[in-house]
Structure 1
Amino acid sequence: MTILQAIILAIIEGITEFLPISSTGHMIIGSSLMGIASDPFTKMFTVAIQLGAILSVIVLYWKRFFQSFDFYFKLFVAFLPAAIVGFLFNDTIDALLERVDVVGYTLLLGGIFFLFIDKIFQENEKSDKQVDYPSALKIGIFQIIAMIPGVSRSAATIIGGLSQKLNKKTAAEFSFFLAVPTMFAATLWKMYKYFDEGGAFGSNEITLFAVGNVVAFIVAMIAIKSFISFLTKHGFKLFGYYRIVLGIVILVLYYLGVGLSIV
Structure 2
Amino acid sequence: MNHDSISALVLGAIEGFTEFLPISSTGHLILAGELLGFQDNTGKVFEVVIQLGAILAVVVFSFGRLWQVLVGLPSDPAARRFAFAVILAFLPAAVLGAIFHDFIKSVLFSPWVVCVSLVLGGVAILVIERMAPRPRFRSIESIPMTTALGIGFCQAVAMIPGVSRAGATILGGELLGVDRRIATEFSFYLAIPTMLGATVLDLYKARDDLTANGMGLIALGFITAFVVAIPVVKGLIGFVGRYGLTPFAWYRIIFGLGFGAWLYYAG
Q: Same fold (TM over 0.5)?
A: yes
| Residue of structure 2 equivalent to 1:26 | 28
Letter in 1 for 2:20: F
Which of these residues, 74, 86, 96, is aligned with residue 85 of structure 2? Answer: 74
Tell me the distance in 1 between the aligned counterparts of 2:234 and 2:66. Answer: 18
Tell me the distance in 2 between the aligned counterparts of 1:212 and 1:97. Answer: 23
Superposed displacement of residue 51, structure 1: 1.7
Tell me the distance in 1 between the aligned counterparts of 2:227 and 2:257. Answer: 30
Given that 1:104 and 1:248 are in contact with CA atoms closer than 8 Å, whether structure 2 keeps it comes out as yes
Matched ranges for 1:37-48 at <5 A: 37=39, 39-48=40-49
Mapped pair 1:62 → 2:63: yes
Identity in percent? 41
Mapped pair 1:225 → 2:234: yes
CA offset digits 1:175-207 (Å, max 9, x no partner): 110100000010011111111xx22332x3343
Tell me the distance in 1 between the aligned counterparts of 2:46 and 2:53. Answer: 12
Which of these residues, 90, 103, 111, is aligned with residue 122 of structure 2? Answer: 111
| Residue of structure 2 equivalent to 1:2 | 4
Superposed displacement of residue 122, structure 1: 6.5
Given that 1:77 and 1:137 are in contact with CA atoms closer than 8 Å, whether structure 2 keeps it comes out as yes
| Residue of structure 1 equivalent to 2:134 | 123
Tell me the distance in 2 between the aligned counterparts of 1:148 and 1:81. Answer: 14
TM-score with structure 1 setting the length = 0.90
CA offset digits 1:96-137 (Å, max 9, x no partner): 33322111111111112222333223632x752532211111
Given that 1:146 and 1:152 are in contact with CA atoms closer than 8 Å, whether structure 2 keeps it comes out as yes
Mapped pair 1:144 → 2:162: no
Tell me the distance in 2 between the aligned counterparts of 1:154 and 1:96. Answer: 22
Mapped pair 1:237 → 2:246: yes
Given that 1:117 and 1:236 are in contact with CA atoms closer than 8 Å, whether structure 2 keeps it comes out as no
Which of these residues, 218, 223, 230, is aligned with residue 209 of structure 1? Answer: 218
Aligned residues: 253
CA change 1:159–1:96 in 2 (3 A) is: farther
Tell me the distance in 2 between the aligned counterparts of 1:190 and 1:206. Answer: 13
Letter in 2 for 1:54: I
Which of these residues, 242, 249, 262, is aligned with residue 258 of structure 2? Answer: 249
| Residue of structure 1 equivalent to 2:15 | 13
Given that 1:116 and 1:237 are in contact with CA atoms closer than 8 Å, whether structure 2 keeps it comes out as no
Given that 2:109 and 2:161 are in contact with CA atoms closer than 8 Å, whether structure 1 keeps it comes out as no
- RMSD of equivalent CA atoms: 1.7
| Residue of structure 2 equivalent to 1:154 | 166
